[in-house]
Amino acid sequence: MHFLIAPDKFKGTLSAEQVATHLARGLESHGHTAACVPAADGGDGTVAAVLASGFTEHRSLVTGPHGRPVEAAYALRGTTAVIETAQASGLTLMDPRRPMPMEATSYGTGELIRHALDAGATTIVLGVGGVATTDGGIGMLTALGARFLDADGQEVRPGRLEKLEAVEAGGLDPRIGAVEVVLASDVDNPLTGPDGAAAVYGPQKGAGPDHVRRLDAGLRRLAGLVDPEAADRPGAGAAGGIGFAAMALLGAERRPGIDAVLELGPFREELARADVVVTGEGKADRQTLHGKVAHGVARRAREAGLETWVVCGVSELSQEQIDEAGFAGVLALTDIEPDPELCRANAGELLDHLAQRLAARFEES
């Protein structure tokens, strides 16, 4: 059999490329062949995934969410750049003991976009997710030349958007107008309200109830001055409002993250050659069924008439959910090693064994 292996990363344990390599090794040890196409959904790990598809890594010093310099990477192939917000504005860059829900900025993401423009990019795939910010993307836009001013003509700080009186977008880098921006996101939240950026994602960034109220009020103020209709679009609330900023002022078109990423690599060509598809992620749960990598890969495989097996660290899916998702089956590392800590410590070796178990299923059939 010829397998197409297109997994996401196992967060905090193995990259998507490492997961694919271990699965291929196990399958090939039983005489099968495999093609590896690491995948991502637009969140953290997207740059790493596309590097396996001929992109080149570029690193730059940019402003982190805390205002201090960080080294961030983006990927470039020809005139297409892939940028993930987590690289420059990610929650993992923060000291968990010192959350900054009202101060964190997306400025570094704008600097990454500017670096990509300097490198000749005319298409920018902006993967959003995993940020520490809820600034409505004003940091990103400020880095690109826009200005956000209070009644005294002073720059408004990220957590003080309720004081916003004027938005000057005329200074945006003129190259933006000639660039195609793709917002790669599986988040469909609006910018504000009970399902918005502040209410849903603010608490995980350290925002208490009062912070959430103030942040949401500020985002409403921003939307009212920029583009109220864009605030209600699916994905406007992605990455603390970076989704809104990208759609309203950068002309971005939102696409499901998994689709945007798969189209950057040889997935379509390899799917045409495959007999079976294997995907995976660290944890298979309800979120898996809503736009994540495994769901997106399985959808495309199903359209091609192929079955998809999901490999994961741990699974919380019922058999009914597995069937409804159209997965042929789910294999978890905890099927072999019940201890989650040992699973993480020995994930590569366990993936080898899990792939061999999968290979054996096809030998039995």
The range of the structural domain enclosing residue 135 comes to: 46-258
The token duo for 104 is 């964190």
Q: Are 234 and 290 contained in the same domain?
A: no
Is 134 within a domain?
yes
Q: Are 9 and 73 contained in the same domain?
A: no
Domain count, the chain: 2
Confidence at 75, pLDDT banded by 50, 70, 90? very high
Whole-number average pLDDT of the chain: 95
In what side-by-side order are the strands of the sheet with 80-84?
56-63, 69-77, 80-84, 123-127, 180-184, 253-255
Is 222 within a domain?
yes
Q: Are 118 and 213 contained in the same domain?
A: yes
pLDDT at 187: 87
Q: How many residues in total does the chain contain?
A: 365
Is 263 within a domain?
no
Stretch 89-96: mean pLDDT: 95
Place of tokens 């195609």: 180
Contacts of 84 (CB under 8 A, 6+ apart): 42, 43, 44, 45, 46, 47, 74, 126, 127, 128, 129, 130
pLDDT at 186: 84
Stretch 227-254: mean pLDDT: 97
Residue 186: which of 234, 253, 233, 231 has the closest Cα?
234
What is the phi-psi region of residue 247: left when phi exceeds 0, alpha when psi lies from -120 to 50, beta otherwise? alpha
Is 264 within a domain?
no
The token duo for 158 is 């990220």
Which pTM value belongs to this model?
0.93
Is 18 within a domain?
yes
Is 159 within a domain?
yes
* H or E element at residue 57: strand 56-63
Stretch 201-213: mean pLDDT: 97
Residue 343 has pLDDT above 80, yes or no: yes
Is 164 within a domain?
yes
**Measured distance CA(32)–CA(25) in Å, rounded:** 10
Percent of the chain residues past pLDDT 90, beyond the cut? 93
Q: Are 213 and 295 contained in the same domain?
A: no
Q: Are 310 and 246 contained in the same domain?
A: no
Confidence at 71, pLDDT banded by 50, 70, 90? very high
Q: Are 58 and 33 contained in the same domain?
A: no
Is 300 within a domain?
yes
Q: What is the CATH number of the domain that holds 192?
A: 3.90.1510.10
* H or E element at residue 97: none
- Given 203, 231, 258, the domain boundary residue is 258
Going by the DSSP 8-state scheme, the letter that residue 335 receives in this structure is G
Percent of the chain residues past pLDDT 70, beyond the cut? 99
Residue 132: which of 163, 156, 102, 161 has the closest Cα?
102
Q: Are 23 and 93 contained in the same domain?
A: no
Confidence at 298, pLDDT banded by 50, 70, 90? very high
**Measured distance CA(255)–CA(128) in Å, rounded:** 11
Place of tokens 């294997």: 278
Confidence at 364, pLDDT banded by 50, 70, 90? low
Query: Within 13 A of 54's CA, how many CA atoms are on the CB side?
Result: 10
**Measured distance CA(266)–CA(253) in Å, rounded:** 22
Q: Are 250 and 279 contained in the same domain?
A: no
Confidence at 361, pLDDT banded by 50, 70, 90? confident
Q: Are 216 and 311 contained in the same domain?
A: no
In what side-by-side order are the strands of the sheet with 33-36?
33-36, 2-5, 276-284, 308-315, 329-332
Going by the DSSP 8-state scheme, the letter that residue 156 receives in this structure is P
**Measured distance CA(215)–CA(61) in Å, rounded:** 28
pLDDT at 179: 97
